[in-house]
């Protein structure tokens, strides 16, 4: 029989991404501010220096939010034909707000997946 020697129960990466919590303990907060990663978890002490989400979340945010906002703007223009100022009032705040929220969620999700899969920077084994 194998004994589980884990100190922390596994944390679901999706839950950690949505809540913005530590990928190891699920208790401490991952962010210090809106999009800045804390140096370490306040609950379990996990060092977040491994966390590098890169440009991945931004690319997904551009594609997803662009599809949603442009689709809604086109539907509104074709069906309701509002003036230009109403388009600006509707779509600019919606695009900015959704982008910031989704960027935070996807950044936390990618960091949680990096931790879960023990992802590291690519290295060449030179023997």
Is 70 exceeded by the pLDDT of residue 1? no
Indicate the pTM of the whole model: 0.85
Q: Is 118 left (phi over 0), alpha (psi -120 to 50) or beta?
A: left
Kindly give, in sequence order, each residue whose CB lies less than 8 Å from that of residue 95, ignoring residues fewer than 6 positions away.
65, 69
User: Does residue 60 fall inside a structural domain?
Assistant: yes
In a domain, 86, yes or no: yes
Of the pLDDT bands very low, low, confident and very high (cuts 50, 70, 90), residue 119 is confident
In a domain, 77, yes or no: yes
Whether 95 maps to a domain, the answer reads yes
Three-state secondary structure call for residue 37:
strand
Query: What value, to the nearest 5°, has the Cα angle with vertex 97 and ends 111 and 83?
Result: 150
Residue 126: inside a domain, yes or no? no
Domain ranges, residue 56: 13-116
Q: What is the mean pLDDT of residues 93-102?
A: 97
Number of domains in the chain: 1
Local confidence band at 105 (pLDDT 50, 70, 90 cut-offs):
very high
Q: In the prediction, which pLDDT does 121 show?
A: 75
In a domain, 42, yes or no: yes
**Model confidence pLDDT, tens digit, residues 32-91:** 999 999 999 999 999 998 888 889 999 999 999 999 999 999 999 999 999 999 999 999
Question: 3-class SS at 120?
Answer: coil
Look up tokens 């936390």; give the residue.
108
Q: Is the pLDDT of residue 126 over 80?
A: no
- Domain membership of residue 124 (yes or no) is no
Residue 23: inside a domain: yes
């Amino acid at each position: 029989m194998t004994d589980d020697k884990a100190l922390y129960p596994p944390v679901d990466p999706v839950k950690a991404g949505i809540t913005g919590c530590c990928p190891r303990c699920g208790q401490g907060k991952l962010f210090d501010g809106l999009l800045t990663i804390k140096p370490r978890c306040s609950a379990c002490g996990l060092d977040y220096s491994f966390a590098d989400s890169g440009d991945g979340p931004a690319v997904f945010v551009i594609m997803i939010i662009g599809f949603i906002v442009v689709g809604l703007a086109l539907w509104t223009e074709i069906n309701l034909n509002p003036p230009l100022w109403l388009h600006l009032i509707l779509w600019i705040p919606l695009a900015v707000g959704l982008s910031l929220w989704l960027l935070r969620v996807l950044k936390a999700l990618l960091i949680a997946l990096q931790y879960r899969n023990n992802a590291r920077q690519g290295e060449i084994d030179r023997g």
